[in-house]
Amino acid sequence: MSERDLMAGWSVELLHDDFRQCLREATLLYDSETAIQRLRVFRNPTFGRILTLDNVVQVTEGDEFVYHEMMSHVPIFSHGAARSVLIVGGGDGGMAREVLRHKGVERVVMVEIDPGVIEFSKRYLPGIGGGAFDDPRLEVVIADGADYMKADGERFDVIIVDSTDPIGPGVTLFTDSFYGHAKRRLTPEGVLVTQNGVPFMQPGELTNTLRAFKALFRDWGCYLATIPTYVGGPMAMGWGTDGPARDASLETLKTRYAEAGFETRYYTPEVHKAAFALPGYVARLRP
């Protein structure tokens, strides 16, 4: 049986040189090129509907809650008084959905380079975005996040870079220049968090980001969460701020979480604090 026959009916992720992730395609729902990247949506018996961009898993119905909860609630509960949030990327709507659960957040701007991701996520993955795209607090801007950040404009209490990996259109979101502009677009005690890959598989990506954060922020580092379809171990989320956000005590986080009044499936105040405890192999990636 040829490799092609063997892999028929499977989505094969080629993100890593020596490691492939194969996900059964029980039903292919969409497969086409947008103007920017190849967009596929298929159903897998274990993970539900899955969105891939250029054959790299972006989001699955089954495990997206881990990633979206940890990338949104950790900076927002740490900050304690976030009113404005910028999401770079995030076209599937999951990050906006979680951010908008915070009633104190008055404005969310999503800067997404590919309108096709938004359009097809609304159509094929409506559960990921929930009602986010109908929330009047959300403004969607179709642009390269790097261009948006470079421009003069409003500042944000929290900036979440919910991008693809540093390939294709995502490359511009992993540069020192981008991080420098992001810092300028933060309020004085604002928090920047970034999707920074799986350090066991992409160690250089994390070190490069943290080297830039070390030069930019008083408090810099990363925290971890394990998302099953981001294969290779726990994923790192870059963290940078000049404010006291990370100092929020467990008791303070518990109070803020209780006052927020919503349920989560992965995030808890205890998980929040523990996420910053790094195993040796990750800690040693810090510059």
Q: Work out how close the CB of 41 gets to ligand SAM at its nearest, in angstroms, rounded to a whole number.
A: 11
Q: Which one of 59, 158, 206, 236 is in contact with ligand SAM (CB under 6 A)?
A: 59
Angle at 273 between CA 130 and CA 206, to 5 degrees: 80
Q: Work out how close the CB of 147 gets to ligand SAM at its nearest, in angstroms, rounded to a whole number.
A: 8
113 binds ligand SAM (CB under 6 A): yes
Q: 92, 157, 162, 165: which is the annotated catalytic residue? A: 162
Interface mask toward ligand SAM for 130-169; x: CB under 6 A: --------------xxx---------------xxx----x
The Cα-based distances of 91 to 98, 131, 160 in angstroms read 13, 13, 13
Q: Work out how close the CB of 235 gets to ligand SAM at its nearest, in angstroms, rounded to a whole number.
A: 7
In this structure, what token pair is assigned to residue 39? 């967009």
Which amino acid, 193? Answer: V
How far, in Å, CA of 140 to CA of 165, rounded? Answer: 21
Residue 260's Cα: distance from chain center in Å?
21
**Beta carbons of 58 and 51 less than 8 angstroms apart:** yes
253 binds ligand SAM (CB under 6 A): no
3-state class of 121 per DSSP? helix
124 binds ligand SAM (CB under 6 A): no
Q: Work out how close the CB of 58 gets to ligand SAM at its nearest, in angstroms, rounded to a whole number.
A: 4
> Buried (b) or exposed (e) across 111-146, using 16+ Cβ within 10 A?
bbbbebbbebbbebbeebbbebbeeebbebeeebbb
The one segment of 90-98, 216-224, 252-260, 274-282 that binds ligand SAM by CB under 6 A: 90-98
247 is catalytic: no
* Residue at shortest CB range from ligand SAM: 89
The one segment of 42-50, 111-119, 128-136, 265-273 that binds ligand SAM by CB under 6 A: 111-119
Interface mask toward ligand SAM for 10-49; x: CB under 6 A: ----------------------------------------
When the beta carbons of 240 and 243 are compared against ligand SAM, the nearer one is: 240
Residue 69's Cα: distance from chain center in Å?
9
Q: Maximum distance among all alpha carbons in the chain?
A: 60
How far, in Å, CA of 238 to CA of 14, rounded? Answer: 24
Where on the chain is the footprint of ligand SAM (CB under 6 A)?
53, 58-59, 67, 88-92, 111-114, 117, 144-146, 162-164, 169-170, 172-173, 195
Which residues does the annotation mark as catalytic? 162
